[in-house]
Structures are given as C-alpha cells and as structure tokens.
Structure 1
C-alpha cells in the first residue's frame, strides 16, 4: 500500500497533513454571520500571513512555522477560509456569488483588523491562495512589504481552461454541496474568480519571489508547458519579481524543499525589517544546518523500506509492473516484518496477473497487522469478483 501520495490538485490545490512543534494561539473571529479560525505564532514586528491552497486549511503550513519563527521572530498568522478547517460558513447566504473571492478577502480583512494586524504585513501563499495574496496587495499596496508565491496560478485558467476543468467535476459537485461547502462554493465561483483576478496585479514596488514546481502536477505536455510559460511570463513582465524553479519538487514546494522556501521567506522578510542583518545571520545559520541535515536524511532514506516502496510505486505509475514487483519483492526480503511491504507487493502481483500469489501477500500483511484496512478491502473485492465469475 502506498504510504503517501504525491500532491494532487483540485483547481489549484493540494492536501497535506503535517504537525508542528510551534506554540500557537487559536482564535475564532466573528466576521459577520460566520467565524474565521486564525492561528497565531506570537512574535514582534511585521507579521507574516500564510494563505493555503484551495481545499486546504491553515494547518498545511505547520511544518515550516518553527524555523521561520526562530529566524525572523515575527508574528506568524495562518487561517482557515470559510467552510474549511474549523472556520464556519454563512449558511444564511444562499446566493453562490456571495461566497466567492471577494467574500474571502473581506473575511480576511475583517479578521486581521479585529486581531490588530491590519498594518504592515508580508504575504506567503500557495496555489489558489495566490489569488488572495494578489488581491490583498492590490487593495492594500502601502501595507504589503513583500510576497512569496508558491506555485500559484498566473492566468493559467483563462482562455477557456477553467471551463475544461469544471467539465470534469460534474459528478463531484453534488457531493461537495452536501459534505464540503467550502470546496463547493470555491468551485461554483471559480469562473468569476478567474475573471476578477485577470485584472488584478501586485503593485510593482512590492518585492515578490515566485516559485514554480520542478515536478509537474498537471498531466499533459500542453498543460505542463502552459503552467511553466505562465510563470516565465509573470517573471519577465514584472521587474519586482524573482522567479525560482524548485527542482525535484511537486506542487507543495515547501514540503519537497523546506529550506528553499524558508530561506526565501526570510529573505523577503529581512528586506522590510530594521533587523535585516540579524535575520540574515539567523537565516544563514539555519541554511547551513538544514543543508547538512537534509543530506543525513537522504542517506537514511536511501534503500530504506520507504525508499523501495516509493521506487516501486514510481515504476507502477509508469506501467512497468514486473519491475515494480521485483522491487517490492526485494522490500519484503529486507523488511520481512513490514505489513505495508507485503501489501505493496500484493498490489504489483495483481497487476501482473498473479492473483493467487497476491492473495498470499495480502493475507501476510493482515497477519503482521490485523488492522490493515487496505489488505482486507482488496481481499474482499477479490472474493466478490470470484463469486460473480462463478455465477
């Protein structure tokens, strides 16, 4: 069984669940008929606001808050947009158009004002959250001191592209409407969002770092090239923007290369701080330590159970199923007590039409871990399929 997935996208979004050691202040702020959940890492000076991608809540940033706090000593603010995380949504407002990007930015503005953070600020955003950073900077050009954009949309969904995406989601929309109001309204208003944002720009006097992924999350060559070209054009047409391609990183760049993102945020922050030299020194110390630790982590990962598991699934993704089976077989030889290794081998065996051997592997996975839900589900499915064939 695959232990983790590469970042997936729903209209500029990815889903990550990570933990943090940073002590935070949790608060629900009333913004009118609903409440927005904010988490604040206390600090001094200009705050840094983090805006998550579509479908995400503020917890996606947890893994990088500690080092940024230590480097900058700044107040760090994450939050959940209406309908996500623990933020509520205005159920009295039934007009879908009133739940769009303008409503989101107004929620944020009210929340920041009530919290006392409606002054100078640095913005960091991912994916769909880039819309909020651009919009906030355009509405408050004198307050925003710097922006870090992490694989955000730059006009990609114009020229009919957003209609193509929405056409693939007809079956999902009723489910979202029932169970996930935040995602539903984001989808229902995305065309209007794209139209509004096509006319919005970050003012030229505000320094911007723009990241683009090195491992495409889009599927076709046309889509991949369009995404990259949009980023190249954005950098070329804005003298205040520094473009960075995050090699060997997917959509969640701060997950794939934390130190790259953390030092970039620190650089932007230092440029607007009176403690510039001190912050730069802290960032350098962090970068040296992080780089060395990264090498140690890579060495520990290489040829580990997770490394072999990842390699095997990469081969499955390329439809090299027999090669994948050999890698998973090696994994169970090296890690004979791993339920997950047997589960993965079973999956590869099914793909190479070795059903009886696969069944043995799934049974072994359950023997090692009686709570192995995936193995149980697969065996149940195999049993049902066999029963159908008999009839």
Structure 2
C-alpha cells in the first residue's frame, strides 16, 4: 500500500475535524431549539457559553418564599429586586420586580434559562430607563413549580399574563424576549390586545422558521438525546427537558400558522452567526425567517448584531439596552 504524504494526511485530518466541529455546532443549535439550552453543554460535553450561569436545586426540604423577599443590592446601586410568588392554574411562578416608573419592561428568558439570565442586564436597564423591570422563571425553571405534560407556548403566555395582572401591570408594557421566548411573546401579544406597547425580539423563534422540513430536521437530530435523557434518573431538570421536547412537531406546526398582531411594533435583533453557526443552510433559513417576519407587518425593524452569537444579551448587552430604550422612548 502506498503511504500518503504526511502533509496530505495532516490536511485530511484537519478537514475531517473541521467537518465534525461544524456538525457538532449544528447539532447543539438544533438541540437548543428543541430543548432548553441548559442541557446542550452537558449532552455534548462542551463548556459552551450558552450553559447556565447558576444552577437551582430544589427538594422537599427546600423553602419557597411565601411573600416578597429582597435580593442583594447590585453593585451600581440600582433598586433591589423583590420576589413575588404568583399562582396560575394550580401552579406557582416566581416573579422578580425591580422598582421603577412606567412603562414596565419585562424580560423573558431563552430556553432553559431562568431570571438569572438577566442578572447583569437588569441593573443596566434600570439605570438607563428608570423603568420598573420584571423578570420571572417560567414553569419548571428556577423557583417556579413544574407542570405536567408537554411544554406549550400558549400555557406559558397564560402564566406571564397571570403574573403581570397580579402585579398590576396591564398596559403600556415593553416586552423583550430571547430565543424560545419568542413563542411565548407571540401568543401573549395575540391573547392580550392593548397590553404591549412594544416588543424587542432577540434572535427569537418566529413562526416563519418552523416549516415542516425544518421541524423534521430538528426532531431527527435530537431524538437520540431525548431517549438518553429518559433513561437517566428523574430530576426536575430532566423532566423539564423531556416536557419541552414532547409534542414538538404538532406544537410547532401550529405555531407556524400564527401571526404577530399588526398593532404591536417590533424590533428584531438578529445575531450574525445565528444559532446554526455550523450549518450555512440552516443559518440562512434562520435569517430568511427573521426577514420574512419583519416584512409581514407594519412597524417592524430588523437589526443585525454584527459578530454576535445567538447569545446576544451576553455578547452585546449594550445593543439590547439601547434598543429597549428606543422602544420605551417611542412607545412610553
């Protein structure tokens, strides 16, 4: 057998490695869209920037606040956030309120993230706008209760609606939604006419992306990891991941048919790298979906976060703050 020159072998190995790394990044992106992003690093054995900063542990002996509590004062002397436990449809949800004036700014986290995602952004927004800032933990995350059955954007929107109503925030709200929270925002905006004065979608899931072809690709890529999770010891985190994956196809085929209400202006901040940095085909589909969403109605603006990954709030927080400030100034 003729031996390949060392240089050729080296180049072949590098090409194979590059292909593997790109495919791995694509699989992580697909997994993050089907499942909360918190599991991506653990499943693929990487120290991803998308991994959660803080893990919550709960158990039978873990105390749950019955009334508002006060968090530690941020370093920049922004008002402290207090926790409020609010009940909707038999389960409790943790909301966190940083005092300020109207209009209220509500931050909704990406898949698998709880209110900790905004720990650095909240004081910046509070200082920049003086507005009341509200964050929360969706069902099954953080200090909020689990809910049996598949994850559903409509149910999540109902939870957000109940929380804001209980807090007395029922009009002139500026909502900012990252990634999976785009689905919650869409259902919330449709079910609560007159509540939102503006929306900032940050590399968020929009209906145009979830075609039958794309849904099939996402489900096929993530099914082996879902099955592996089901064989692991049952934990709150695992149960939430499995619930998010259940009924994914029908849920997102239905979401694909939903439209954003034309009376709510939107700024869409798209990452340059997209969640699919390792797959040019899927990255282009993500960009096309964002452009189609913006073109589908009045009062919509598309901005690209140059050089940013899907984690725009961490990569370019000032851009997010500036666009929320603009929305508050224009609509507040």
Q: Work out whether the TM-score is over 0.5.
A: yes
The one of 204, 224, 233 aligned to 1:152: 204
1:189–1:119 CA distance, 2 compared to 1 (3 A):
farther
Q: Is residue 306 of structure 2 the alignment partner of residue 253 of structure 1?
A: no
Matched residues in 2 for 1:39 and 1:119: separation? 18
Superposed CA offset, 1:138-161 (max 9, x none): 112212100000001232222221
Give the corresponding residue for 1:307: none
The one of 95, 106, 114 aligned to 1:38: 95
Compare the two structures and name the one with the higher strand fraction: 2
Give the corresponding residue for 1:132: 184
Higher relative contact order (CA 8 A, sep 6+): 2
Q: What is the TM-score when the length of structure 2 is the normalising length?
A: 0.73
Matched residues in 2 for 1:151 and 1:255: separation? 12
Alpha-carbon contact 1:15-1:60 (below 8 Å) kept: no
Superposed CA offset, 1:298-349 (max 9, x none): xxxxxxxxxxxxxxxxxxxxxxxxxxxxxxxxxxxxxxxxxxxxxxxxxxxx
Q: Is residue 285 of structure 2 the alignment partner of residue 222 of structure 1?
A: no
Per mean C-alpha deviation after superposition, the further-off stretch among 107-116 and 242-251 is 107-116
| Structure 2: gaps of 5 or more residues | 1-24, 38-49, 55-71
Paired residue secondary structure (2:158):
helix
* 1:171 CA displacement: 3.2
Per mean C-alpha deviation after superposition, the further-off stretch among 194-203 and 205-214 is 194-203
Give the corresponding residue for 2:18: none
* 1:176 CA displacement: 4.5
Larger radius of gyration: 1
Matched pairs, number: 263
| Structure 1: gaps of 5 or more residues | 1-5, 274-391
Compare the two structures and name the one with the higher helix fraction: 1
Alignment of 1:16-55 (within 5 A): 16-17=52-53, 21=75, 22=78, 23-55=80-112
Alignment of 1:255-270 (within 5 A): 255-270=314-329
* 1:126 CA displacement: 0.4
Give the corresponding residue for 1:68: 125
Q: State the Cα RMSD in Å.
A: 2.3
Matched residues in 2 for 1:56 and 1:102: separation? 18
Q: What is the TM-score when the length of structure 1 is the normalising length?
A: 0.63
Give the corresponding residue for 2:19: none
